[in-house]
Structure 1
């Protein structure tokens, strides 16, 4: 390994080496994807975001790009008759179906909300449910902020550093409060949304929001952390467009952050800067692609070229979180390489044999990633493990990202099958079947987390809805023999998922009704 790694144990260094090997294997096999301007991957922890090179990818025209979201599936001819006259852009869906029932302003924060007795439990809930997945600051530092605020109270200090401290604390409290312990027992998500607990969370968030104006003219590490946490809260409360703006602002703070210490890999600020940059980048990118913010989804999918060092607090909190952090970085970068490569599959010069060759290589890369996982994150462990076990929750997230990779690998074959353009090619149909099986597996594997409220809940709603629409489209295209036997049961699960969230997530309401219509029509046609 190059650079000056932080003093991790032998197991951590071994995982790093495995991930580096995976990167090297792919780039050796795909010099055209990695680009001329992109150096071989290094795990040097001294690389900063501003010094990393991006791949020089030729940008495919928008007509050549495969969009991989629910709205793209609705454009398929076999489903188009059901959406005539209805908005097919997500922004239009949200606007057309938005109601004012949640427009009540949250109550203002009062002194009694800052209860010393609840501060510790709220912080712990934040650590267990948010920080472990996105470690963007030192928990010990947050504890100091909390002690100071509990002693001195909140204020409107014009000093930006004090505003940052208060904002971080308020957002930690908001996220800690938003965690519900009895999601599975609720009839719908609105039961919690209408609770005093949710109102308290909104009060913390409103107090932080009113202080964010002081951050807009400053660019520092604390500001990036504040905007990122605000984005996480907005994602957890089903406000994706608003969350995207927060992630963009966090990323902007990182891009222009200038500190002489950032090149020192052992410097705490450098480590935190790398962490917040990476976390903001991947959060903004995954949301932008789902929201179809840009017409051409492949134009800037290049991930930063470093594996960031984890904050020291993450190392002390447990090796599972550290391994998850590294594994997620490697898998997300693999997923974006797959998506970038898939964007070229509609080119007239790309043959089925070319696509199959690439997908076989990607399958091997994904298999190698799975084999590189440490024992506590192995995805082949029994499903009976409850999700309140930390390692099980980390495995749950990694498995979801892995299914994303597989679905993107097979996406072009799935599209061609539904459009009946490659039915005569037996090899292409093998990969289309794999894609349809992945759609069913995504729904079934995610079922245990359908009611959890967190950063990725809305994205899970979207991907499961997309999978359900794909399965229905295949049936309506007359290819039901290519579907797994339990596909209808999987679609029913998505209907139940959307029903649970439909009073809170506007697009869930739209797709809940659409799936009901599609399944009713499918049932009638079978009579």
Structure 2
């Protein structure tokens, strides 16, 4: 990395700080070379084999017909026919990546302790030096524990090693949940991948910075809290007398498994026929299966639309009639702790995301999180498929909760503390006798990539935007952002080809690659934003090459995200609400940058094009604001800032 080369070039003297820095950089380079060697070379995928032979046929090395309760050979021999429990079916590419993971983990384990010790020593020396100098309000003196800086982002299909489930923040993150005490969180903080409470990533924190708040006409303290507005929001009314038309179900099923399930991987395609038959036998009026089926059909109808933000005012909301019938069945599932009921509640929460009702979604998610923790505490003996379903429920709950906690200051469930007990999903089992109707394949590539990126994003929030990090000197961020950027690039390099996007202006060929690319740039912009915020307060910091280079990366990532604002519709089922609020922060940041005499010189486009991009994005956010009060207040802040920003941009254009 250029930042590491910079450190080496500056280490000509023999001070202890430079010696430690050179040693640290050498370790990072050694690790990167080793990873590169592990990931190179020809790839030969092993042939998938069926695992259905009984013990007798295995011992005799005979072909087993897989009959139940006895196979043909055991009947002929009058022998006891015993089958092993079917193991998880791994795709060939899964096995290859997991094999490489073993080598990667051995490499990381051997170097992580030395790397962490050297990085911490460097930062301690830097903090000691800076503490002797006068501090600006932006750069107070402090030291920080870097127990997670050396933690790499593991490949997206890899099982997280206990050695690398590290504490993310310099201090434990206390839960607001009374059932989850501070001491409990502290004892399990080594597993923590939660977004910290009172983090400063949101647009509301950003506009309170002096160089940004001066764009607003009213004091920022007069703005209502987005959470306050969502709490006061009127509840939805669902028609309990709706008549269902299930004559055209198949297109909705196909739409769900093509456009929704790959994002969340929550329903096994091999279980769908059983769910649907049970629901139909109950007349879709009772039972957990009915709730699962109706919610999935509602999402399938919703996924047939481009985006809820483009539906004309007064037009029917897609899927709402199906979801109205499903909502009548939710009461029973709220009181149950069965996996199928938790699965059903998560599907309902996804539909609330589609409706841009984040607090309604959170109400269901928090219940699921509590029950998942209870299930793990009970240490139940689950079948292979139920264990797999539990993993998918867990990761969806953690991801959905993180979306909401990133924008609203709500209580944490603490679900991230049991991550080590859960593990990563690996695929539902194909039944010995395939159902007549299998509506899709069990593709989990996107889901696994989303898990890995969510963990990294939570780590970024905790290490760069927590209360403790706000007390760090800017120089202490250098090794942290370099390492987080390295982990983000490792995540990208490990994406499988079906969803791996290309950098550039061309839109990816499928919606899943499109969303991963947008979220890659969101993560990159957040990683490097600390330098832009510092430079807005003190322009002279840009004389440091590392800070100017980091600010440029943030600007380029934010500009790409805002310039391609319409691509967010590809993930409209899940991402409209959280994506809109993240975009508001990036738009405000670009406004402040474009009127800064120094930072504006880093913009890759002329002022006229920047102006067009920002004005179009503000109009888009105003449209989105009609669907949720938390977006509306952010859009109103943008409109307010746009007036003064336009005046200053007009002066720049005339000159």
1:89 pairs, out of 211, 225, 241, with 225
* 1:11 aligned onto 2:123: no
Q: How far apart, CA to CA, are the structure 2 residues paired with 1:447 and 1:462?
A: 14
The separation in 1 between residues aligned to 2:292 and 2:632, in whole angstroms, is 33
> In structure 1, which of residues 41, 44, 59 is the aligned counterpart of residue 171 of structure 2?
59
In structure 2, relative to structure 1, the CA distance for the partners of 1:24 and 1:285 (3 Å cut) is: farther
User: For the Cα contact (< 8 Å) 1:338–1:362, is it kept in 2?
Assistant: yes
The answer as to 2:365 corresponding to 1:365 is no
- Kindly tell me: are residues 213 and 382 of structure 1, through their superposed partners in 2, closer, same or farther at Cα, counting changes over 3 Å? same
8 Å CA contact 1:247, 1:284 repeated in 2? yes
Residue from 528, 532, 540 that aligns with 1:410: 528
Q: Is the 8 A contact 1:34 1:55 kept in 2?
A: yes
CA distance in structure 2 between the aligned counterparts of 1:177 and 1:252, rounded to whole angstroms: 30
Q: In the aligned structure 2, how far is the partner of 1:143 from the partner of 1:316?
A: 9
- For 1:121-200, list aligned pairs within 5 A: 121-156=251-286, 162=287, 164-183=288-307, 189-191=310-312, 194-198=314-318
CA shift digits 1:23-69 (9 cap, x unpaired): 7766725586557xx9x9899999999xx977485427999975111
Q: Identify which of 196, 202, 207 aligns with 2:325.
A: 207
Q: Does 1:105 align with 2:237?
A: yes
Distance 1:301 1:518, change over 3 A: farther
Q: State how 1:451-490 maps to structure 2 within 5 Å.
A: 453-478=572-597, 479-485=599-605, 486-490=609-613
| SS of structure 2 residue aligned to 1:196 | coil
Q: Deviations over 1:413-437 (max 9, x none)?
A: 1221122273443321221221122
Superposed CA deviations along residues 175-232 of structure 1, whole A, max 9, x for unmatched, are 122234355xx9x5351x632353xx22322332232222233212012111111111
Distance 1:503 1:510 in 2: 10
Q: 2:372 aligns with which of 254, 263, 279?
A: 254
* Per-residue deviation, residues 119-148 of structure 1 (Å, max 9, x unmatched): 221121111221111112323323323233
Task: Tell me: CA distance 1:44–1:278, structure 2 relative to 1, closer, same or farther (3 Å).
Answer: same
Residues 504 and 349 of structure 1: CA distance in aligned 2, closer, same or farther (over 3 Å): closer
Aligned Cα RMSD in Å? Answer: 4.0
Change beyond 3 A, Cα 1:287–1:276: same
Judging changes above 3 Å, is the alpha-carbon distance between structure 1 residues 451 and 508 closer, same or farther for their aligned structure 2 residues? farther
| Residue number in structure 2 paired with 1:309 | 426
CA distance in 2, matches of 1:20, 1:408: 30
Of 76-85 and 460-469, more deviation after overlay is shown by 76-85
Distance 1:33 1:41, change over 3 A: farther
Match of 2:404 in 1: 287
CA pair 490-46 structure 1, distance change in 2 beyond 3 A: closer
Corresponding residue for residue 137 of structure 2: none
Q: 1:104 to 1:433 in 2, by over 3 A?
A: closer
Distance 2:95 2:544 in 1: 45
Greater shift, 346-355 or 513-522, is seen at: 346-355
* Bigger RCO (CA 8 Å, 6+ sep): 1
TM-score (norm 2): 0.66
Distance 1:250 1:25 in 2: 37
Q: Does 1:396 align with 2:514?
A: yes
Secondary structure at 2:406's aligned position in 1? Answer: helix
Gaps of 5+ in 1: 157-161
CA contact (8 A) 1:271 1:311 kept: yes
Distance 1:289 1:270 in 2: 29
Alignment correspondent of 1:524: 647
Q: Is the 8 A contact 1:503 1:509 kept in 2?
A: yes
In the alignment, the residues of structure 2 paired with residue 26 and residue 407 of structure 1 have an alpha-carbon distance, to the nearest angstrom, of 26
Task: Determine the C-alpha separation between the residues in 1 that align with 2:623 and 2:537.
Answer: 32
> Residues of 2 paired with 1:348 and 1:195: CA distance?
47
Q: In structure 1, what is the Cα distance between the partners aligned to 2:542 and 2:273?
A: 60
Retained in 2: the 8 A contact 1:413–1:432?
yes
**Is the Cα contact below 8 Å between 2:168 and 2:463 reproduced in 1?**
no
TM-score (norm 1): 0.80
Q: Offset at 1:348?
A: 8.4
| Larger Cα-atom Rg | 2
Q: Measure, in 1, the Cα distance between the counterparts of 2:470 and 2:567.
A: 42
The question of whether the paired residues in 2 share the 8 Å contact of 1:87 and 1:93 is answered with: no
Q: Give the SS at the match of 2:211.
A: helix
For 1:7 and 1:451, how far apart are their aligned partners in 2? 30
Relative to structure 1, the CA distance from residue 302 to residue 334 in structure 2 (aligned partners, 3 Å threshold; closer, same or farther) is farther
